[in-house]
Amino acid sequence: MAVVQTGVILRFIGLSGDAKPSPTAGQAGSKFYETDTGTTYVWDGSAWSADLSSAPWARAIKSVTFDGTAGKGALGAVPFFTVTGRVFVENIVGFVTTAITEDGGTGVSSLELGVVGATTLFIPAAVSSLFLINRFWQDATPAQFGEAAPAATKEVATDQNIQANVTSTGTRKVNGGVIQLTVLWTPLSAGALVV
């Protein structure tokens, strides 16, 4: 068979919320790169689909400022990332940018990291008083200067939202401090996102 030019391959760059253009059928193989998610989509001649074979790791970063209110330090879930579809988490790293403080309640408060339905999937409960400034949070003992990634924080497939969870042996809650989470991930299903 002789090589035949079938069309012009186009390359687009935009955000995940932008409307993707519709190349012609002869422009199959055209690509659209989402700068905010790191996901590349390929035009198959009639529709866009995520290029899962060569998708680079995307990075999502979010900081939560704890103040003791619902979703920000009261007992229960502290939402970090919304997961759409199925994703593969290459690694997840927490970093304490402002030391965690607790209110005057009873008992000892702790933080754990997981997903909806599996609150310790990534990190088991760590006592809140250990969350000092400039500590990496990847296990039950936040570490200064750095830490090797434990098995639980890397190479995890999920389709659930990523969240911290505040627990207590009494009524004590987290009422101050800031934790930043960074997730390196790639999609396992078309249109999958971590935001």
When pLDDT is averaged across residues 77-81 and rounded to a whole number, the result is 98
**Residue 170 and residue 94 share a domain:** yes
Question: With 60 as the cut, is the pLDDT of residue 1 above it?
Answer: no
Do 90 and 167 belong to one domain?
Answer: yes
Predicted TM-score (pTM) of the model is 0.73
Domain for residue 2, yes or no?
no
Q: Which residue's entry shows tokens 């006592």?
A: 127
Gap between the Cα atoms of 51 and 55, Å rounded = 6
Per residue in 98-123, pLDDT tens?
A: 999 999 999 999 999 999 999 999 99
Q: Mean pLDDT, the chain, as a whole number?
A: 90
pLDDT single digits (tens) 32-47: 888 777 778 888 778 8
Range of the domain at 23: 11-50
Judge if 40 and 121 occupy the same domain. Answer: no
**Cα(113)–Cα(17) distance, integer angstroms:** 28
Let me know whether 134 and 107 are in one domain.
Answer: yes
d(CA 183, CA 115): 13
pLDDT of residue 27: 79
For residues 108 and 15, state if they share a domain.
no
Mean pLDDT of 41-68: 82
- Residue 16: the pLDDT is 84
How far is residue 89's CA from residue 185's CA, in Å, rounded to a whole number? 4
Same domain assignment for residues 119 and 31: no
Instruction: Please tell me whether residues 119 and 24 are part of one structural domain.
Output: no
| 40 and 101 inside one domain | no
Q: Are residues 42 and 66 in the same domain?
A: no
